[in-house]
Chain A
């Protein structure tokens, strides 16, 4: 294990530096009067910056794994994966934002802020220090508040932003108190040193447990874990749809990354692929209970939703529950499973949001009833309906889609960890989710549309994105070897 000093660490920080630079450049480009008139300039710069970020993260990925900046940040395969993930999510979001009518007239700051959140995701996933965790989490949170309230002439957007800020501020307050308790008990901010301290010293069990619970409030809020999920439906509904799509994938994955890194690094001991919880805290059972509560609540409340964004919000809470099983299973298979699941979730959820944006563009309505009869509304309608069907099947977790493979990996990790009750209840939960995902399919094919005019999905690029995501859903559902290889090399934590 090598801890690098600041100078040597700079090379590892190259991809993130590019994002910071892009952020500044976008803001500067907006200053000259005749430049700011060009609507495409800022998104193009943002895209170039993100692509450069991806390219550089492939470059830094070849460096030996190291702990950089005096133990603040860890550069391992896990971090590399989240750089890739953040870059891809950002690119799709930039594209969706260009296509959505809701944010058609945004100014350059919107793109700058998107780049800012993209910076926060790998920073959070790589944090090894409680201070760094807090700062990266706040970076993501504050930018999310602003983007959610971006359409501040609409009432729902402002309301969502205010709710998000209030919940978020409370959650960070609770979390930072919890972090201070952990610091008080262990005397260090460094996650690796926390583990070393806990192994060799009798820690104050009660204070540690309460500190941990309070810290989980902060992480749990980011990933919408029950009981810290209350903000999600309102925020997802009120935010501009592309922002909702981004929030449900990018920041959520970052929250999972740090939750898993913190639990695996600070609270367990690696014994050949099985991470044994340290003697004081049964983190496994605790997270299993949270996982079950999260997926059950998400699935059952999703049954009654009539708004597509609220519907996808509860669906994303349910998926957070499935991914939380990885924090309960505590083995390498679980890490691999959750990484696979995140990729599949990126594909299918972004796909579902892309179709939702197309439907909202077409009908101006966010109600589920806008999907009625979509399959019979011309060629474009049929295309969107087929794609949506695939995304829904994948979100349910049925073969031959990528969602099935993701669930398969996760559940097998849980069985490997011998938490059978969680696996059984998780599968039952998937059955419940079939009902509401199938409802959309039924709306699209077996119900009459209000207006029979052909579905408006113009241009070439937007339909291609939807088709591409749908194709990826099926392709990786059948040939998952490539993804499986990626997860295998990524599921490595330097600790």
Chain B
């Protein structure tokens, strides 16, 4: 077992366990913090794949900005313990859903394990910023622009939904 393998299993293990934590934890703050850990572990996996820029962006935006926002919102909403405990579902329903999730997980794991992943080897200079920038502004320029439109409209929409009074006097 090489160092690479050991690091892979460490990161992957952390990612899995903390992802479980997001789902299982009854307290949303703990869930959000587990999500931070998951995103850090995935960033580690990106590093192992030599996608340094992706790893850094993942930590900066997701683990940094977005998750801090999540925690802020959860704290601001200040849900009481009673509301958090309330899940309107019988034990049978929970059991069935858990079973379905486990079956889906095993199927997917099985499928991914069996699948022979194909594709070209990564391009020269994969993972560094200059290659990424060149790709974004040549081959992927239209998705890049549409993503820009998408973010703009989402922003406007969020402001609109947050405003108290949308109708004109």
Q: In the complex, A69→B168 CA distance in Å?
A: 42
Interface segment among A185-193, A331-339, A484-492: the answer is A185-193
Contact A109 B156 (CB under 8 A): yes
- B1 in the interface, Cβ–Cβ < 8 Å? no
Chain B residues 33 to 74 lying within 8 A of chain A, measured CB to CB, are none
Report if A70-B138 is in contact (Cβ < 8 Å); known contacts: A27-B156, A113-B156, A136-B146. Answer: yes
Known: A39-B168, A107-B166, A107-B168. A72 touches B142 (CB 8 A): yes
B75 at the interface (CB under 8 A from A): no
What residues on A are CB-neighbors of B119 within 8 Å?
A: 183-184, 187-188
Contact B166 A135 (CB under 8 A): no
| B112 interfacial contact with A, CB 8 Å | yes
8 closest pairs, A vs B, by CB? Answer: A187-B119, A146-B157, A105-B167, A207-B115, A187-B118, A69-B142, A204-B115, A70-B139
**B contacts with A, residue count (CB < 8 A):** 30
8 A-B pairs besides A183-B119, A185-B117 with CB distance below 8 A are A6-B138, A23-B153, A27-B156, A119-B149, A132-B143, A139-B153, A146-B153, A153-B166
A249 at the binding interface (Cβ < 8 Å): no
Q: Is the CB of A113 within 8 A of B157?
A: yes
Please name all residues of chain B whose beta carbon is closer than 8 Å to the beta carbon of A132 when the two chains form the complex: 142-143, 146
Residues facing A in B142-164 (CB within 8 A) are 142-143, 146-147, 149-150, 153-154, 156-157, 160-161
Counting CB contacts under 8 A, is A424 at the interface? no
Shortest Cβ distance from A259 into chain B, in angstroms? Answer: 20
Out of A9, A13, A181, name the residue touching B111 (CB < 8 Å): A181
Q: Give the CA-CA distance A392 to B168 in the complex, in Å.
A: 37
With an 8 A cutoff between CB atoms, is B124 at the interface?
A: no
**Interchain CA distance A431-B152 in the complex, whole Å:** 46
Asked if B111 and A106 sit within 8 Å, CB to CB, the answer is no
Which residues of chain A have C-beta atoms less than 8 A from B153's C-beta?
23, 113, 116, 139, 142-143, 146
- Taken together as a complex, chains A and B put the C-alpha atoms of A64 and B120 apart, in Å, by 32
Chain B residues whose CB sits within 8 angstroms of the CB of A207 once the complex forms: 111-112, 114-115
Q: Which residue of B lies closest to A9 (CB)?
A: B142
B17 at interface by CB-CB < 8 Å: no
What are 22 A-B contacts defined by CB distance under 8 Å?
Answer: A6-B138, A23-B149, A39-B168, A72-B142, A73-B142, A105-B168, A107-B160, A107-B168, A109-B156, A113-B153, A131-B143, A132-B146, A150-B166, A151-B166, A183-B119, A185-B115, A187-B117, A188-B119, A204-B114, A206-B114, A206-B115, A207-B115
A6 contact set on B, CB distance < 8 A: 138, 141-142
Residues of chain B in range 124-142 having any CB-CB distance to chain A below 8 Å: 138-142
Which residues of B are found within 8 Å of A206, using beta-carbon distances? 111, 114-115
Q: Contact at A201–B118, with CB atoms within 8 Å?
A: yes
In Å, the complex CA distance between A136 and B146 comes to 8
Residue among B139, B149, B153, B160 having the largest count of chain A Cβ atoms under 10 Å:
B153
**Residue contact B150 to A138, C-beta cutoff 8 Å:** yes
Q: Which of A199-227 contact B (CB under 8 A)?
A: 201, 204, 206-207, 210
Chain A stretch 124-144: residues in CB contact (< 8 A) with chain B: 129, 131-132, 135-136, 138-139, 142-143
Chain A CB within 10 Å, residue with most, of B107, B116, B119, B149: B149
A421 to chain B, nearest CB (A): 30
The binding surface of chain A is classed by DSSP as helix
B157: A residues at CB distance < 8 A: 109, 113, 142-143, 145-146
Q: In the complex, which of the residues A20, A73, A145, A161 contacts B149, with contact meaning CB atoms closer than 8 Å? A: A20
Tally chain A residues at the interface, Cβ within 8 Å: 51
CB distance A135 to B156 under 8 Å?
A: no
Chain A residues near B111 (CB-CB < 8 A): 181, 206-207, 210
Cβ of A359 within 8 Å of any chain B Cβ, yes or no, is no
Closest residue of chain A to B166 (Cβ to Cβ) is A107
Instruction: Determine if A123 and B112 form an interchain contact, defined as CB atoms under 8 angstroms apart.
Output: no
Within the complex, the shortest CB–CB distance from B114 to chain A, in Å, comes to 7
8 A Cβ contacts from A156-190 to B: 161, 181, 183-188
CA A188 – CA B118 in complex, angstroms?
Answer: 9
* Beta-carbon nearest neighbor of B169 in chain A: A105
Q: How far is the CB of B137 from chain A (nearest CB, A)?
A: 9
Residues of A near B143 (CB, < 8 A) are 72, 129, 131-132, 135
CB <8 Å contact, A152 and B161: yes
Query: Complex Cα distance A165/B41, Å?
Result: 28
Contacts of B156 in A (CB 8 A): 27, 109, 112-113
Given A143-B153, A204-B114, check contact A187 B120 (CB 8 Å): yes
Q: Which of A23, A72, A106, A119 contacts B166 (CB 8 A)?
A: A106
- State whether the Cβ of A149 lies closer than 8 Å to any Cβ in chain B: yes
Q: Is B108 an interface residue (CB 8 A)?
A: yes
Closest to A147 in B: B157
Distance A139 CA – B156 CA, assembled complex (angstroms): 13
Q: Fill in one digit per residue for A5-34: 1 if any B CB lies within 8 Å of its CB, else 0.
A: 010010001000000100100010000000
Q: How far is the CA of A188 from the CA of B157 in the complex (A)?
A: 33
B161 touches A116 (CB 8 A): no
Q: Which of chain B's residues have a CB closer than 8 A to the CB of A204?
A: 114-116
**CA of A207 to CA of B160 in the docked complex: distance in angstroms?**
42
Closest B residue, CB atoms, query A136: B146
Instruction: Please give me the residue from chain B that is nearest to A197 by CB atom.
Output: B118
* Residues of the A chain whose Cβ atoms lie less than 8 Å from the Cβ of B114: 204, 206-207
